[in-house]
């Protein structure tokens, strides 16, 4: 039996509006963002680098604060947050369209108050934090005054929480945390970390771990190394910390949410973030496609331009088609979230976009590099940086293989094994059943045999 539900559906039973347009008022906001990022924010990338996650000195603040003010005046600051937190409470489609623009520039998320991992961290503190935690951590985070870190992955455990070892043990009126965490992004510039630790070793990882809010200067918290990414030259160390939590004592009120809730909280955090990452990737790949096309129509060969060559036209067409497919998939998933789609379907489709994200970025930037020749692999174009972001996107928030497994498992859940030897679409079996159904009709026995039927069906394609 074909499980139609395994394919994307747009809601059960109700009337569904499929509308691919953007309302003019919001389009005007997007147009403003587009020009603002190009003219005001991209120069920051060029002069102050691609690692903006640090408290600003007074000189830089004099440039950055007025830009943030313009974003606030325009009503575009931290739009992922609800109005009660000073945001607009935009749905995922609007956020996706905004992130497509923000993805072009490392500084843009800072200027618009939407930088990861602070967005996700703010969301979970807003959702699960006590009043005291919100006052201490959330407000300055929302104001862009401090940065935070999400410290979950472990050196030996990687993407499998069942192998995590970091423990938090009750001690008097507080907790003591011991263990190692790996690739804790921005820990070196963060004011506090959200740390995942085992609090009940007698139950499974999904129910025995809790989250703690830990100020970075807590005694016992030692950043052993700051690790850089491939292609980075980071003499002072990269942005991804290997951290030793060596008897880190925190008070009871550091617990975020209830004991054993870490996994549920982590899931809250990652859903929307993956859609935003995907749409930022659309922005990056779009930038690579723009470079590809500009070079194709500019670079001359003996017989014309590169754009006259069939192979280059193939690169352009394939890149455009694949990117458009991916963009529509991401926007469609954003739309199903806004429609309150079945959470299981949403999880499957978020995993699906996570699988495609690194592939799209790789394929489009690879072709753009090829068309630029030596210039493409030089450090005088941004293409190398975009290209190297692709394998990173295949690991951040869990490896591609794990998400592919999620997609396959959920799709397969919509199917039942057939009884008997033959598949449900086995033609001789179906023809026999059809003949039985029309046994009383004199013409039924004279109708086409299986082979003719196959031919007939192929002819219908």
Ligand X SMILES: Cc1cc2nc3c(=O)[nH]c(=O)nc-3n(C[C@H](O)[C@H](O)[C@H](O)COP(=O)(O)OP(=O)(O)OC[C@H]3O[C@@H](n4cnc5c(N)ncnc54)[C@H](O)[C@@H]3O)c2cc1C
CA distances 258 to 120, 136, 153, 447, Å, are 18, 19, 20, 68
If binding means CB under 6 A, how many residues of this protein chain bind ligand X?
Answer: 20
The interface with ligand X within residues 94-123 (CB under 6 A) comprises: 117
67 vs 284 by CB, closer to ligand X: 284
| Torsion, Cα of 349, 354, 355, 359 (10° steps) | 130
Under rule CB under 6 A, residue 398 binds ligand X: yes
Closest approach, Cβ 187 to ligand X, in A, equals: 8
* Peptide bond preceding 117 in cis form (omega within 30 of 0): yes
Under rule CB under 6 A, residue 152 binds ligand X: yes
Report the run of H or E that residue 227 belongs to, with start and end: strand 221-227
Q: Classify residue 32 as exposed, middle or buried by CB count within 10 Å of its CB (0-12, 13-18, 19+).
A: middle
Q: Classify residue 75 as exposed, middle or buried by CB count within 10 Å of its CB (0-12, 13-18, 19+).
A: exposed
Site map for ligand X, 183-222, x if CB under 6 A? Answer: xxx-------------------------------------
Stretch that binds ligand X, among 46-54, 150-158, 204-212, 370-378 (CB under 6 A): 150-158
Q: Which of 4, 1, 6 is nearest to 412 (CA)?
A: 6
108 vs 306 by CB, closer to ligand X: 108
Under rule CB under 6 A, residue 405 binds ligand X: yes
40 vs 123 by CB, closer to ligand X: 123
Q: Classify residue 369 as exposed, middle or buried by CB count within 10 Å of its CB (0-12, 13-18, 19+).
A: buried
Question: Rounded to 5 degrees, what are φ and ψ at 368?
Answer: -65, -40
- Which one among 64, 292, 396, 407 touches ligand X, defined by CB under 6 A? 396
CA distances 217 to 190, 237, 239, 360, 367, Å, are 10, 19, 17, 40, 46
- Which one among 90, 112, 137, 150 touches ligand X, defined by CB under 6 A? 150
- Which one among 115, 119, 151, 189 touches ligand X, defined by CB under 6 A? 151
Site map for ligand X, 223-242, x if CB under 6 A? Answer: ------x----------x--
Closest approach, Cβ 242 to ligand X, in A, equals: 11
Under rule CB under 6 A, residue 147 binds ligand X: no
Phi-psi region of 397 (alpha: psi -120 to 50; beta: other; left: phi over 0): left
Under rule CB under 6 A, residue 395 binds ligand X: yes
Under rule CB under 6 A, residue 401 binds ligand X: yes
229 vs 381 by CB, closer to ligand X: 229
Report the run of H or E that residue 226 belongs to, with start and end: strand 221-227
The interface with ligand X within residues 168-187 (CB under 6 A) comprises: 183-185
Would you tell me which residues interact with ligand X (CB under 6 A)? 117, 150-153, 158-159, 183-185, 229, 240, 392, 395-396, 398-399, 401-402, 405
């Amino acid at each position: 039996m074909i499980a139609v539900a395994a394919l994307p559906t747009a809601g059960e039973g109700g009337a569904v509006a499929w509308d691919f347009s953007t309302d003019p008022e919001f389009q005007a906001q997007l147009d403003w963002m587009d020009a603002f990022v190009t003219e005001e924010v991209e120069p920051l990338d060029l002069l102050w680098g691609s690692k903006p996650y640090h408290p600003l000195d007074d000189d830089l603040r004099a440039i950055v604060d007025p830009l943030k003010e313009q974003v606030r005046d325009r009503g575009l600051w931290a739009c992922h947050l609800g109005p009660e937190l000073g945001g607009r409470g935009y749905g995922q489609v609007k956020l996706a369209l905004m992130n497509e623009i923000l993805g072009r520039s490392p500084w843009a998320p800072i200027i618009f108050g939407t930088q990861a991992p602070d967005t996700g961290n703010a969301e979970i503190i807003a959702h699960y934090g006590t009043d005291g935690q919100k006052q201490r951590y959330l407000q300055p985070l929302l104001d862009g005054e401090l940065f935070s870190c999400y410290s979950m992955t472990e050196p030996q455990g990687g993407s499998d929480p069942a192998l995590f070892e970091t423990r938090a043990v009750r001690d008097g009126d507080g907790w003591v945390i011991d263990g190692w965490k790996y690739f804790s992004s921005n820990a070196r510039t963060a004011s506090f970390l959200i740390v995942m630790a085992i609090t009940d070793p007698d139950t499974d990882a999904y129910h025995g771990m809790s989250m703690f809010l830990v100020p970075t200067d807590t005694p016992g918290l030692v950043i052993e190394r700051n690790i850089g990414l491939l292609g980075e030259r980071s003499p002072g160390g990269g942005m991804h910390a290997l951290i030793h939590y060596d008897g880190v004592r925190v008070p009871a009120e550091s617990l975020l949410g209830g004991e054993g809730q870490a996994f549920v909280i982590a899931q809250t955090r990652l859903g929307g973030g993956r859609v935003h990452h995907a749409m930022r990737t659309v922005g990056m790949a779009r930038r690579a496609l723009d470079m590809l096309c500009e070079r194709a129509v500019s670079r001359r060969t003996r017989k014309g331009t590169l754009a006259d060559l069939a192979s280059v036209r193939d690169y352009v067409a394939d890149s455009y088609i694949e990117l458009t497919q991916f963009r529509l998939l991401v926007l469609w998933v954003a739309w199903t979230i806004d429609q309150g789609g079945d959470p299981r379907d949403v999880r499957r489709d978020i995993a699906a976009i996570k699988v495609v994200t690194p592939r799209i970025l790789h394929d489009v930037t690879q072709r753009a590099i090829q068309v630029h020749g030596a210039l493409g692999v030089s450090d005088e174009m941004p293409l190398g940086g975009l290209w190297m972001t692709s394998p990173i996107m295949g690991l951040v928030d869990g490896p591609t293989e794990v998400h592919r497994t999620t997609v396959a498992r959920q799709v397969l859940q919509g199917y039942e094994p057939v009884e008997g030897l033959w598949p449900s679409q086995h033609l001789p079996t179906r023809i026999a059943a059809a003949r039985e159904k029309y046994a009383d009709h004199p013409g039924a026995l004279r109708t086409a045999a299986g082979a003719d039927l196959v031919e007939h069906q192929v002819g219908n394609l």
